[in-house]
Structure 1
């Protein structure tokens, strides 16, 4: 991706976020754009960094560990978010590498993250992932089990800041985003990680504080 393409795409996404925020009487600055760079190498990511993007998302710990330490060393104000599923045995690696983890969804992971944070002293922000469409193939805690998991996570000392969800494919995402926003209000969490390339504007109008955009910034994956 050329520097010009990166700047153009980034400006377009920010413009669309601003328009969506205006519709909902929100400030665009209250929405964090996470550029999801999974499957893209450092050479493809650098133009977006050069264009001013500072928050990036990855799906896998191992892939992120291969490319981000050098990129973060060169640009220390980069913030890296883990937006994919996390295995408990990778919790320590994730805590070491990421500034936020969006996929806390079970007790075993809560325990592993609490242990890793206690040992390292590093405390990335955590989002609880909710299986908002009750889909067996997706990660996330069931809606009915959210309060119990949140209580356990808070008791373990995890810095839980919000909720994350991925709505079912091929249907209107708005009711699912609205449900997550309602759940957030009920449990006292104000941050919502919702919305991707196809639906981030809808998410912003419903209260997203973090949108996870990959394809619209990097182009279609091979």
Structure 2
């Protein structure tokens, strides 16, 4: 696969769903990818990237940002409270807010720093014990708490169980978002982003289909 082929598939999925061209944001997930692959995708014109770990992003992106204009970074992996300050200073969106403690930390830092990235609340739609995310039944309360803290909640995010049809999970996320008046839906990855677009995704997170198989860290 390549950036061009994924972009073409994304545009075709938008058209099939009756959605406007460019209405879905493509996040190129660059986690654990060699710098040369990331630079190739940058050179091809992509400017929105997703990283899982704050430390990896800190080591990778300052150099690229010095050489390429318009880069937007999205943190899509779990965020520890002790990494929140660093994340707030370098990313434009955080897709993994999943607990009140983290929300309160972000609100405090936003007051100190004077800015806050766009936030998506991660919902564990499959209720998998090993996976991050607020449980579906507790999502409304987390949305309410974030709003009480004046945090900029743009929407919700989910990662469906790997061995299940993703469509019911995408529908569930959409239902939770709708009843909370949220328009942002960060859902869909390399294997299922077209299904996600059909079910209302506003952001899709595509890694290996753009960059190739991830290179395991040494």
TM-score band, normalised by shorter chain = over 0.9
SS of structure 2 residue aligned to 1:85:
coil
Alignment of 1:10-159 (within 5 A): 10-159=3-152
CA deviations 1:97-118 (Å, max 9, x no partner) are: 1100000010110011111111
Contact 2:75-2:93 within 8 A present in 1 as well = yes
Unaligned runs of 5+ in 2: none
CA deviations 1:46-67 (Å, max 9, x no partner) are: 1111111010000000000001
Please say if 1:171 is aligned against 2:135: no
Between the aligned partners of 1:76 and 1:113, the Cα distance in structure 2 is 27
Between the aligned partners of 1:123 and 1:193, the Cα distance in structure 2 is 18
Measured on the aligned residues, the alpha-carbon RMSD in Å equals 1.0
Q: CA deviation at 1:28?
A: 2.9
What TM-score do you get using the length of structure 1 for normalisation?
A: 0.94
Query: 1:210 aligns to what?
Result: 203
Contact 2:122-2:156 within 8 A present in 1 as well = yes
Between the aligned partners of 1:19 and 1:37, the Cα distance in structure 2 is 23
CA deviations 1:171-215 (Å, max 9, x no partner) are: 110111011111111100011000000000100110111000000
CA deviations 1:34-86 (Å, max 9, x no partner) are: 00000113322111111110100000000000011121122231100000000
Q: CA deviation at 1:132?
A: 0.5
Q: With CA pairs under 8 Å and 6+ residues apart, which has the higher RCO, 1 or 2?
A: 2
Stretches (4+) displaced over 4 A: none
Count of aligned residue pairs for this structure pair: 215
